[in-house]
């Protein structure tokens, strides 16, 4: 049986409506907290394992506070982690040092092994922070946060329209592929390549046509250059204090890592 | 590794690339508004959605490999470079925030590589090639294919330099591994960019930004740049001949110099030749590489227009 399109608008943020200390905070605070954790983790000097452990604990605490099941976090991490693992593996062979193991003409050095482990650790902690953000924040909330953080309106509007069109376009491209398959129109690699080029060009043309139609409809409803949004969640004292504490904690960990290494 | 994950770059490199990206995006916002005016929002939204959707399609390249579109040069030929920078920034931003493809801390570096250097460098190359070749349909497809290749190589070089500046990997092996990988990816990018642009130019030419035939001055400038590139290649040839290249240096560091075996005798081994040594070898090298890229692009242009 033909698989139907399974992309939906809300497949990423199932925990955005679950009441928790994280979802109670304004989305801007959530974005700032995630950015602080990701930057703080990524900025740790090589070899600062204890400091990395502290930041990993902070991220785990946030995931627990957001009531995210471990299985969901692990499942969400799996895809990007495979990519990060593949990218880090190169470090085993490319970083010079005392050779530990030889695999054919390549040697794994001690420095390479340490760097591989630490880079993978830093990446995993930062990835988990991003997973907490995306699981607890809906896309409209994310856009609202980016607007409050003074990202140019043209970019946030393009993001909003792009996200709205994306799922329609993916469905349309899947329909075109299904139609081609049903006509048995993809024999060898060459005809498959031609077919994909045709589908991509059709997708491009349809995306622009749909964009123009959507824009005309928006103008008819009084669009003045910025997408309207629901009233943003207000900043409350608890959010401000929590965010300040988090920023200070991450800064203290990062600074102490540089001092102690 | 076009998208650098968090953990691979140092704090200084993350801060520096973020500052350069922010300044470049501010210019792009200003310039794209002037060019697109009230069409800006729908056009950028549609292009963002298209790049996302197109990146989900894997094109078989043969020998069990496949590639997907990065899209910088393709969108640049349609919307112009400034708007294309904003589109690619929107894509990089959503990939980092929603799909964890590229880090949040490394967002500045990824924006600089993919949206600023990838699009800006690719479009400079495209315009230079159009000035050399002319604005005919096949010539534009050929130029776009070559620019798509060049843009991807540029992204790879930028990633390698940032990794080296961060102290994650030494420069020589980073250039070989990341730059070399992107050169292979670039072939796919060039082929896909040329093929899609060819089809769009045939089916919906009004979507693509119009280009005037280059003036005599513009063409003279393009030839001057080509001449300068040849001279630069000659100078680089002298430097390269006196120092081990990136691959040799990487092999030395990995301790595999002793197993080096020549299966095929190079015509200008170690940049020496009977007719003028390093300079002649470098110039011939540039001409041959340009010729091969031109032949691939031309083949794409022909095939793209026939499909």
Q: Region B140-147: what's the mean pLDDT?
A: 92
Residues 203-222 of B with CB under 8 A from A: 203-204, 207
Q: B9–A42: do the CB atoms touch at under 8 Å?
A: yes
* Phi (first) and psi of residue B202, to 5 degrees: -80, -40
* Phi (first) and psi of residue A185, to 5 degrees: -95, 25
Alpha-carbon distance B247 to nearest alpha carbon in chain A (angstroms): 11
A31-84 pLDDT, tens digit each: 999 999 999 998 898 889 999 999 999 999 999 999 998 998 898 888 888 888
A130-186 pLDDT, tens digit each: 999 988 888 888 888 998 898 888 888 888 888 888 888 888 888 888 887 777 665
pLDDT higher for B40 or B163?
Answer: B163
Q: Give the per-residue pLDDT at B257.
A: 44
Evaluate if residue B134 carries a pLDDT over 60. Answer: yes
Evaluate if residue B50 carries a pLDDT over 70. Answer: yes
As a residue count, chain A comes to 261
The answer to whether A211 contacts chain B (CB < 8 Å) is: yes
Low-confidence winner among A19-23, A254-258, B300-304 (lowest mean pLDDT): B300-304
pLDDT higher for A12 or B47?
Answer: B47
- Band (B152; pLDDT cuts 50, 70, 90): very high
The answer to whether A201 contacts chain B (CB < 8 Å) is: yes
Query: How many angstroms separate the CA atoms of A12 and B93, rounded?
Result: 16
Alpha-carbon distance A22 to nearest alpha carbon in chain B (angstroms): 17
The answer to whether A95 contacts chain B (CB < 8 Å) is: yes
Residues 153-182 of B with CB under 8 A from A: 167-170, 173-174, 177
Q: Give the per-residue pLDDT at B143.
A: 92
Low-confidence winner among A196-200, B79-83, B124-128 (lowest mean pLDDT): A196-200
Evaluate if residue B213 carries a pLDDT over 60. Answer: yes
The answer to whether A203 touches B78, Cβ cutoff 8 Å, is no
Instruction: With beta carbons under 8 A apart, name residues in chain A contacting B46.
Output: 161-162, 165, 207-208, 210-212
Alpha-carbon distance B294 to nearest alpha carbon in chain A (angstroms): 21
The answer to whether B41 contacts chain A (CB < 8 Å) is: yes
Looking at this predicted complex, what is its ipTM? 0.84
The answer to whether B228 contacts chain A (CB < 8 Å) is: no
Q: Give the per-residue pLDDT at A220.
A: 85
Evaluate if residue A14 carries a pLDDT over 70. Answer: no
Helix axes B40-54, B81-99, angle to 10 degrees: 60
Q: Give the per-residue pLDDT at B157.
A: 93
pLDDT higher for B132 or B64?
Answer: B132
The overall average pLDDT reported for chain A is 83
**Which are the contacts of B108, defined by CB distance < 8 A and separation ≥ 6?**
B14, B15, B17, B18, B19, B20, B21, B22
pLDDT higher for B298 or A103?
Answer: A103
Instruction: With beta carbons under 8 A apart, name residues in chain A contacting B32.
Output: 154
Q: B11–A91: do the CB atoms touch at under 8 Å?
A: no
The overall average pLDDT reported for chain B is 78
Q: B47–A207: do the CB atoms touch at under 8 Å?
A: yes
B4-22 pLDDT, tens digit each: 988 889 889 999 999 999 9
Residues 47-76 of B with CB under 8 A from A: 47-50, 52-54, 56-57, 59-60, 62, 69
- Band (B265; pLDDT cuts 50, 70, 90): very low
**Which are the contacts of A26, defined by CB distance < 8 A and separation ≥ 6?**
A145, A232, A233, A234, A235, A236, A239
Q: A158–B41: do the CB atoms touch at under 8 Å?
A: yes
The answer to whether A30 contacts chain B (CB < 8 Å) is: no
The answer to whether A108 contacts chain B (CB < 8 Å) is: no
Query: How many angstroms separate the CA atoms of B225 and B230, rounded?
Result: 9
3-state secondary structure of A145: helix
Number of Cβ within a 10 Å radius of residue A51: 22
Instruction: With beta carbons under 8 A apart, name residues in chain A contacting B73.
Output: none
Q: State how far the alpha carbon of A183 is from the alpha carbons of A2, B176, B284, in Å.
A: 14, 44, 49
Beta-bridge partner residues of A108: A101
Q: Region A88-115: what's the mean pLDDT?
A: 79
Q: State how far the alpha carbon of B271 is from the alpha carbons of A217, B17, B48, B67, B234, in Å.
A: 63, 35, 45, 33, 10
Q: Give the per-residue pLDDT at B246.
A: 46
Q: Give the per-residue pLDDT at A52.
A: 94
Q: Give the per-residue pLDDT at A244.
A: 95
Q: Region B182-207: what's the mean pLDDT?
A: 87
Evaluate if residue A105 carries a pLDDT over 50. Answer: yes
Q: Give the per-residue pLDDT at B64.
A: 62
Evaluate if residue B58 carries a pLDDT over 90. Answer: no
H-helix or E-strand containing B1? none
The answer to whether B30 contacts chain A (CB < 8 Å) is: no
The answer to whether B246 contacts chain A (CB < 8 Å) is: no
């Amino acid at each position: 049986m033909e698989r139907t399109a399974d992309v939906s608008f809300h497949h990423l943020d199932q925990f955005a409506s679950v009441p928790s200390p994280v979802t109670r905070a304004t989305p801007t605070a959530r974005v700032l907290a995630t950015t602080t954790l990701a930057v703080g983790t990524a900025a740790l000097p090589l070899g600062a394992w204890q400091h990395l452990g502290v930041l990993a604990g902070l991220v785990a605490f946030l995931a627990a506070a957001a009531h995210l099941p471990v299985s969901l976090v692990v499942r969400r991490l799996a895809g990007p982690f495979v990519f990060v693992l593949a990218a880090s593996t190169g470090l085993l062979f490319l970083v010079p040092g005392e050779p530990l193991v030889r695999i054919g003409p390549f040697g794994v050095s001690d420095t390479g092994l340490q760097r591989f482990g630490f880079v993978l650790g830093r990446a995993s902690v930062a990835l988990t922070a991003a997973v907490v953000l995306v699981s607890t924040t809906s896309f409209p909330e994310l856009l609202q946060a980016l607007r409050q953080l003074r990202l140019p309106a043209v970019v946030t509007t393009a993001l909003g329209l792009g996200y709205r069109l994306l799922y329609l376009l993916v469905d349309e491209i899947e329909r075109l592929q299904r139609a081609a398959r049903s006509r048995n129109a993809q024999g060898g690699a060459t005809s498959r390549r031609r077919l994909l080029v045709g589908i991509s060009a059709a997708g491009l043309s349809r995306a622009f046509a749909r964009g123009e139609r959507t824009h005309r409809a928006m103008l008819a409803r009084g669009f003045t250059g910025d997408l309207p949004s629901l009233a943003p969640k207000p900043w409350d004292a608890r959010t401000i204090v929590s965010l300040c504490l988090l920023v200070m904690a991450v800064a203290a960990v990062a600074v102490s890592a540089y001092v102690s290494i | 590794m076009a998208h650098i994950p968090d953990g691979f770059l140092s704090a200084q490199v993350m801060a520096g690339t973020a500052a350069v990206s922010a300044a470049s995006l501010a210019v792009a916002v200003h310039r794209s508004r002037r060019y697109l005016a009230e069409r800006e929002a729908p056009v950028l939204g549609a292009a963002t959605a298209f790049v996302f959707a197109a990146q989900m399609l894997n094109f078989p390249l043969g020998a069990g490999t496949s590639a997907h579109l990065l899209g910088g040069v393709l969108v640049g030929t349609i919307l112009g470079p400034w708007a294309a920078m904003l589109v690619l920034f929107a894509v990089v931003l959503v990939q980092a925030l929603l799909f964890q493809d590229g880090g949040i801390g490394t967002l500045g570096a990824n924006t600089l590589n993919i949206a600023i250097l990838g699009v800006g460098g690719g479009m400079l190359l495209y315009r230079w090639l159009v000035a050399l070749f002319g604005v005919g349909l096949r010539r534009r497809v050929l130029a776009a294919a070559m620019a798509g290749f060049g843009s991807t190589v540029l992204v790879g070089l930028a990633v390698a330099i940032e990794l080296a500046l961060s102290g994650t990997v030494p420069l020589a092996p980073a250039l070989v591994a990341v730059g070399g990988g992107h050169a292979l990816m670039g072939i796919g990018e060039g082929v896909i960019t040329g093929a899609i642009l060819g089809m769009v130019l045939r089916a919906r030419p009004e979507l693509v930004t119009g280009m005037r035939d280059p003036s005599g001055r513009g063409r003279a400038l393009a030839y001057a740049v080509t001449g300068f590139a040849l001279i630069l290649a000659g100078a680089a040839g002298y430097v390269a001949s006196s120092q081990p290249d990136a691959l040799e240096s990487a092999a030395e560091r990995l301790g595999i110099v002793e197993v080096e075996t020549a299966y095929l005798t190079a015509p200008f081994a170690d940049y020496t030749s009977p007719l003028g040594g390093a300079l002649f070898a470098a110039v011939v090298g540039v001409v041959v590489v340009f010729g091969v890229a031109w032949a691939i692009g031309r083949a794409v242009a022909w095939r793209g227009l026939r499909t």
